[in-house]
Amino acid sequence: MTTNDPTDLIRAVADLGHAFMSFNIAIRREVELRAGHQLLSNEEVHVLNYLFSHPDSRVAAIAEATGLPRIAVQHGARKMQRLGLLMTTPNDQRVGDAHLRATRAGVSLRIAATERSTQQVRYAIAGISAQHRADLARATPALAALSVALGHQALHSSYDEPDDPIPPDQG
Question: Of all helices (H) and strands (E), which one includes residue 86?
Answer: strand 86-88
Question: Of all helices (H) and strands (E), which one includes residue 99?
Answer: strand 99-102
Q: What is the pLDDT of residues 62-102, one digit of tens each?
A: 999 999 999 999 999 999 999 899 998 766 566 567 889 99
Q: Which amino acid is at 45?
A: V
**Cα separation, 21 vs 24, whole angstroms:** 5
The whole-number pLDDT of residue 93 equals 60
Answer for the pair 85, 105: CB distance below 8 angstroms, yes or no: yes
Q: Which of the residue ranges 17-21, 67-71, 148-152 has the most confident prediction, judged by mean pLDDT?
A: 67-71
- Record: fold of 6-153: Arc Repressor Mutant, subunit A (1.10.10)
SS3 11: helix
The whole-number pLDDT of residue 167 equals 46
**Cα separation, 103 vs 84, whole angstroms:** 7
Q: Which amino acid is at 53?
A: S
The whole-number pLDDT of residue 168 equals 43
pLDDT above 70: residue 6:
yes
- Chain centre to alpha carbon of residue 27: 12
The whole-number pLDDT of residue 163 equals 39
pLDDT above 50: residue 162:
no
Pick the more confident residue, 16 or 50.
50
Domain ranges for the chain:
6-153
Q: Which of the residue ranges 26-30, 72-76, 153-157, 161-165 has the most confident prediction, judged by mean pLDDT?
A: 72-76
Q: What is the pLDDT of residues 110-121, one digit of tens each?
A: 888 888 888 888
